[in-house]
Amino acid sequence: MTEAHRCRSCCATIGEVVLDLGEQPASDYFPPAADPGPDPSYPLQMWLCAACGLAQLLVDPTVPEEPRATEPAALVDQAADAVGRVAAAGWLPAGGRAAEYGSPHGGSWLDLLAERGLTVVGDGAEADVVLDCFGLMHSPDQAAALAERAARVAPGGVLLLQFHSLGTIVRLGQWNSLRHGHYAYYSTAALGRMLASAGFAARQAWRFDLYGGTILLAATRAEDGAPGPDTSVTALEAEEAALGVEDPARVRRLQDSTVSRAEALHRWLVDQRAGGARVLGYGAASRAVALLCRAGVDRTLLPAVADASPAKQGRRMPATDIPVVAPGELVAARPDAVALFLPDLLPELRATLPEVEADGARWVDVEALGATPV
């Protein structure tokens, strides 16, 4: 019997595994194409805390690799949208100080905040606006990471937290959002409890389409005498509660989704090949790694996955023999269809790779194949 897992936020040991993807390669380890493997793999499981409701990575024996991804236009566009909405709501005081905890995946708001008249402060300094943009989930110790951010908020200041919501993951069956290096998967209610432990309270929430549903939460120190959460927060909590984000039985449906979506992808690729259609992939992201592994896809079904990141080209998808190629090679191959692993990229790809559709190919959202929304 191994030692019980302690919640990364509240330290409780009561909870259960709600999603078990078995042994998976590290999602950011792209071996050179000539490396025959086998690639090292590690257990990948989501645990749901019965005390505070935080969904989290059970163990992470992997070592983070250097980020290799390029920053998608969708992330840049969403940042501008979010800053506009937060400013309109009065949360960005002119002349105030701003600090950011960013993500290794990009999407910094600092330039946008500077344009709004805020002064960006450095590591550790107090700020009137402390922003975490997909950063917090990368910390193994969630309580310590949130406390660090909260401590930097100046009296009367605001803490802004942006996250891909567990409600979205459950609603859309996004089981392949689970990956090594991402330690927490927040519902609005669970994050609210974490904030309360840090002496903060959620005040306002905004929702964005990014990743199928991204939430931005504004929180202030409870002692600042805030009026409490507005309806944007309570409505979101009610919606997520109805989805069952704190009910292990409901979250465990993600396990069923692993089977249905993997089978659907495999079947679709087999059907395409049988019909003589040539399919290539786009988006060498962690979500694609998990899905291709689960679906048992190799290069006979998917001869290549294109990606704009030069650091991934010349490598292969982990635990498969599928090479990662430059977008130009995808265009030159004139496929009949392109399996898109990152649906947020579609508008950008239509604009930057118009040849794909001009040559008669179609973009196919693999997230939608076999999805069983609840």
Cβ at position 15, least distance to Zn ion in Å: 7
Considering beta carbons, is residue 182 or 287 the nearer one to Zn ion? 182
Residue 59 binds to Zn ion (criterion: CB under 5 A)? no
Instruction: List, edge to edge, every strand of the sheet that includes 127-133.
Output: 119-120, 97-101, 127-133, 153-164, 214-221, 200-208
The answer to whether 201 and 222 are in contact (CB under 8 A) is yes
10 binds Zn ion, rule: CB under 5 A? yes
Instruction: Please identify which residue in 19, 48, 52, 349 interacts with Zn ion, judged by CB under 5 A.
Output: 52
Beta carbon of residue 56, minimum distance to Zn ion (angstroms, whole number): 8
Quick one: 54 or 279, whose CB is closer to Zn ion? Answer: 54
Which of 49, 324 has the CB closer to Zn ion?
Answer: 49
Tell which phi-psi region holds residue 221, choosing left (phi > 0), alpha (psi between -120 and 50) or beta. beta
Q: How far is the CB of 187 from Zn ion (least distance, A)?
A: 12
- Nearest approach in angstroms of CB 111 to Zn ion is 36
Pick the closer one to Zn ion by CB: 49 or 150: 49
- Phi-psi region for residue 37, left (φ > 0), alpha (ψ -120 to 50) or beta? left
> With binding defined as CB under 5 A, does residue 7 bind Zn ion?
yes
Give yes or no for residue 49 binding Zn ion (CB under 5 A). Answer: yes
Element (H, E) at 293: helix 286-295
Identify the residue whose tokens are 């982990």: 318
Those residues whose C-beta lies under 8 Å from the C-beta of residue 126, and which sit 6 or more positions away, are: 97, 152, 153, 154
- State the minimum distance, in angstroms, from the CB of residue 28 to Zn ion: 26
Shorter beta-carbon distance to Zn ion: residue 101 or 186: 186
How far is Cα 278 from Cα 334, in angstroms, rounded to an integer?
Answer: 8
| Interacting span for Zn ion (CB under 5 A) from 2-10, 40-48, 112-120, 308-316 | 2-10
Residue 50 near Zn ion by CB under 5 A: no
By CB under 5 A, residue 154 contacts Zn ion: no
189 binds Zn ion (CB under 5 A): no
How far does CA 73 lie from the centroid of its chain? 15
Structure tokens at 210: 């990014």
Q: Which of 51, 120, 235, 241 binds Zn ion (CB under 5 A)?
A: 51
Q: Is 26 in the site for Zn ion (CB under 5 A)?
A: no
Nearest to 303 by CA among 286, 282, 285: 282
Distance between CA atoms of residues 170 and 46, nearest Å: 12
Tokens, residue 76: 């840049």
Residue whose CB is less far from Zn ion, 251 or 339: 251
Nearer to Zn ion, 52 or 345 (CB): 52
What residues make contact with Zn ion under the rule CB under 5 A?
Answer: 7, 9-10, 12, 49, 51-52, 54
